[in-house]
Chains A and B, each alone.
Chain A
Amino acid sequence: MKLQDHVAVVTGAASGIGRALCPLLAREGVRLGLLDRNAEGLASLAEELRAVGAACATATADVRDRGAVHAAVTTLAGQLGPVDILVACAGITGTTLVDDLDVEGTEAILRVNLLGVAHAIDAVLPGMLERRRGQIIALSSLAGCRGMPFSAAYSASKAGLAAYLESLRPALRRRGIGVTTVLPGFVRTPLMQSAAVQPPVPLMEPGAAARHVLKAILRRRRVYSFPWDTSLAVRLLCWLPAGVYDWVMARGAARIPNLRY
């Protein structure tokens, strides 16, 4: 699919996969609406993009704030035109331990990772339905395919997000709007660095991850997971009966130092 002159709103644009994706979208001729809560990060990204001749606009908003997301999308659409593509990248993580459930953290993770995406969809969907075209892309996670140790709140939010998108997908597709759920593995992003547990596999660079996301957008894929090895491993885990799954996870988790599992 050609994306020339399409308007895309990217949430979480100032860091991680979102930031790496913006130059790639610009190269495809996409007009970019950049949304993030980090104003400085947005400004430096916009400068970078304008230097290579990309059309872009910025809006500062926290995706947890429904009103702010609406206002931001309205501003961006006012400057760039009606939104054709939403790429929801904003996400946070945190550690959930049996001895410290971190309930506030759990709430925050849910509000950003799931409600944040729902807020963004809510802001762009009416326009997309009216024009009967559009594409909604959101970053879930391979960690949402099954509950991962130490990551109960994160896994839950990403699993919930994937379910939300999957449920909306058939009805929206019939109305010309594609829904793409991206399931990344472990990527070297600020989110990953904020996690207490580092993964047992090498991290992917954000640039490489962004190329995968771009591919998923161009091909209008329904579900797209990467890298292939982590994706395969997770798919195998999904087939395990609960008892075996627990045994495997407990073995893996016991090897993590400094955290009581």
Chain B
Amino acid sequence: MATVAGAMDTLHGKVVVVTGATGGIGRALVRALAEHGCRLGLLARTPEKLAKLAVELRGTVLSAQPVDVRDRAAVADAVAAVERTLGPVDVLIHNAGVGRLTDARSPNLDDLIEMLGVNYLGGVYVLAAVLPSMLARGGGQIVAVSSLGARRALPWCAGYAASKVAFATYLESLRPALRRRGIRVTTVYPGFVRTAMSEVLPLRFPMPMMRPEAAARRIIRAISKGRREAAFPWYQAAVMSVLRRLPAWAYDHLMAAAGRWGIRGDY
């Protein structure tokens, strides 16, 4: 496994908090960050998975906190516990995400509430927990793992798109103000990545999907370069930026056709 040159590496020694640390992209991210020599605050919902990951990362300085990001008080406690062990947070990566399909004929409100709670409000909670110390030190970086699905709302994922769009917009609102205080905001928009979330998609054809490790590399590159936004893979990002600019009527016709062609079941 390639090691990363410590002296040149801007991430070396940084305290990085990752939510959703045990999921598909999360685990790949955490492993890569450990290789970069980061000190890791790992937040995830399932204690057993988190314990397993911590064992796997033996030798890395870390603090693992089992927490549901929908619980604001627990998030504040978890971040405080990380800061007690590792010091103030340099980089926050809100990667925890829930993705469920929405049937337009009967949009499931519990799913919507769960996705908004994890993908959007969960991000607000962790941000609120790390921001005071970042503002006090006048430095830091906030990273959100959004989705290309936030570039334009695709059919059959109304709740997911709403939650991802909400958090990306929230950070965009704060971005210039945070930058003036020395805090960078990086929003990454991954396309299809082979994780538990993308396995459930009712696609009729084999969609080319990135490996989580490749996605993690792209995310880390965006973080170290301090990019405001990064979308990948390039061809899926290109498709979305075309879709983004279509007028509503054209978009609807295209999506209706694409739905018949590409999706199993009656969307």
A interface, CB within 8 angstroms of B = 66, 96-99, 101, 103, 106-107, 110, 114-115, 118-119, 121-122, 125-126, 129, 144, 146-153, 155-157, 159-175, 222-223, 242-243, 245-247, 249-250, 253, 261
B196, CB-defined interface residue at 8 Å? no
Q: Which of A148, A159, A175, A245 contacts B165 (CB 8 A)?
A: A159
Over the window 6-39 of chain B, the binary record of Cβ atoms lying under 8 Å from chain A Cβ atoms (1 yes, 0 no) is 0000000000000000000000000000000000
Cross-chain contact A160 with B172 (CB below 8 angstroms): no
Cross-chain contact B109 with A66 (CB below 8 angstroms): yes
Cross-chain contact A122 with B107 (CB below 8 angstroms): yes
Determine the chain B residues whose CB is within 8 A of the CB of A246 once the complex forms.
Answer: 175-176, 179, 228
Task: Compute how far the CA of A153 lies from the CA of B170 in the bound complex, rounded to whole angstroms.
Answer: 6
Q: Which of A96, A162, A167, A250 contacts B154 (CB 8 A)?
A: A167
Cross-chain contact A151 with B173 (CB below 8 angstroms): yes
Determine the chain B residues whose CB is within 8 A of the CB of A148 once the complex forms.
Answer: 173
Task: Compute how far the CA of A122 lies from the CA of B158 in the bound complex, rounded to whole angstroms.
Answer: 13
Over the window 147-163 of chain B, the binary record of Cβ atoms lying under 8 Å from chain A Cβ atoms (1 yes, 0 no) is 00010111111110111
Cross-chain contact A156 with B169 (CB below 8 angstroms): yes
CB distance from A112 to the nearest CB of B (A): 13
Task: Compute how far the CA of A125 lies from the CA of B109 in the bound complex, rounded to whole angstroms.
Answer: 13
Q: List 26 A-B contacts (CB under 8 A).
A: A96-B173, A101-B127, A114-B116, A125-B105, A146-B169, A147-B169, A152-B171, A152-B174, A155-B169, A156-B120, A157-B166, A160-B120, A163-B153, A163-B165, A167-B154, A167-B162, A168-B102, A169-B252, A170-B256, A171-B104, A171-B267, A174-B256, A246-B175, A250-B179, A261-B176, A261-B177
Cross-chain contact B135 with A249 (CB below 8 angstroms): no
Determine the chain B residues whose CB is within 8 A of the CB of A159 once the complex forms.
Answer: 165-166, 168-169
Which residue of chain B is the closest to A119 with respect to CB atoms? B109
Cross-chain contact A167 with B131 (CB below 8 angstroms): no
Task: Compute how far the CA of A115 lies from the CA of B126 in the bound complex, rounded to whole angstroms.
Answer: 22
Cross-chain contact A222 with B249 (CB below 8 angstroms): yes
Beyond A115-B113, A171-B155, is A152–B173 a contact (Cβ under 8 Å)? yes
B106, CB-defined interface residue at 8 Å? yes
Beyond A103-B124, A115-B113, A167-B157, is A121–B107 a contact (Cβ under 8 Å)? yes
Which residue of chain A is the closest to B227 with respect to CB atoms? A242
**Is the interface on chain B under 10, 10 to 19, 20 to 34, or 35 or more residues?**
35 or more
Determine the chain B residues whose CB is within 8 A of the CB of A170 once the complex forms.
Answer: 104, 155, 252, 255-256, 259
Determine the chain A residues whose CB is within 8 A of the CB of B69 once the complex forms.
Answer: none
Task: Compute how far the CA of A261 lies from the CA of B178 in the bound complex, rounded to whole angstroms.
Answer: 9
Task: Compute how far the CA of A159 lies from the CA of B127 in the bound complex, rounded to whole angstroms.
Answer: 19
Task: Compute how far the CA of A151 lies from the CA of B162 in the bound complex, rounded to whole angstroms.
Answer: 17
Task: Compute how far the CA of A39 lies from the CA of B169 in the bound complex, rounded to whole angstroms.
Answer: 34
B181, CB-defined interface residue at 8 Å? yes
Cross-chain contact B109 with A160 (CB below 8 angstroms): no
Cross-chain contact B72 with A103 (CB below 8 angstroms): yes
B84, CB-defined interface residue at 8 Å? no
Determine the chain A residues whose CB is within 8 A of the CB of B43 once the complex forms.
Answer: none
Task: Compute how far the CA of A173 lies from the CA of B256 in the bound complex, rounded to whole angstroms.
Answer: 10
Which residue of chain A is the closest to B125 with respect to CB atoms? A103
Determine the chain B residues whose CB is within 8 A of the CB of A147 once the complex forms.
Answer: 168-175
Determine the chain B residues whose CB is within 8 A of the CB of A168 once the complex forms.
Answer: 102, 104, 107, 155, 158
Interface residues of B in 95-153 (CB under 8 A from A): 102, 104-107, 109, 112-113, 116, 120-121, 124-125, 127-128, 131, 135, 150, 152-153
Ranked 8 nearest A-B pairs via Cβ: A147-B172, A147-B173, A171-B104, A152-B173, A160-B166, A167-B158, A222-B248, A156-B170
Task: Compute how far the CA of A91 lies from the CA of B221 in the bound complex, rounded to whole angstroms.
Answer: 39
Beyond A98-B174, A166-B152, is A160–B165 a contact (Cβ under 8 Å)? yes
CB distance from A128 to the nearest CB of B (A): 10
Task: Compute how far the CA of A115 lies from the CA of B117 in the bound complex, rounded to whole angstroms.
Answer: 11
Task: Compute how far the CA of A125 lies from the CA of B113 in the bound complex, rounded to whole angstroms.
Answer: 18
B192, CB-defined interface residue at 8 Å? no
CB distance from A252 to the nearest CB of B (A): 9
Determine the chain A residues whose CB is within 8 A of the CB of B249 once the complex forms.
Answer: 222
B229, CB-defined interface residue at 8 Å? yes
Cross-chain contact B121 with A110 (CB below 8 angstroms): yes
Cross-chain contact A98 with B135 (CB below 8 angstroms): yes
B167, CB-defined interface residue at 8 Å? yes
CB distance from A96 to the nearest CB of B (A): 7
Determine the chain B residues whose CB is within 8 A of the CB of A172 once the complex forms.
Answer: 104
Q: Which of B135, B163, B267 contacts A99 (CB 8 A)?
A: B135
B225, CB-defined interface residue at 8 Å? no
Which residue of chain A is the closest to B161 with respect to CB atoms? A163
Which residue of chain A is the closest to B257 with respect to CB atoms? A170
Cross-chain contact A152 with B161 (CB below 8 angstroms): no
B180, CB-defined interface residue at 8 Å? yes
Task: Compute how far the CA of A164 lies from the CA of B165 in the bound complex, rounded to whole angstroms.
Answer: 9
Determine the chain B residues whose CB is within 8 A of the CB of A171 once the complex forms.
Answer: 104-105, 155-156, 259, 267
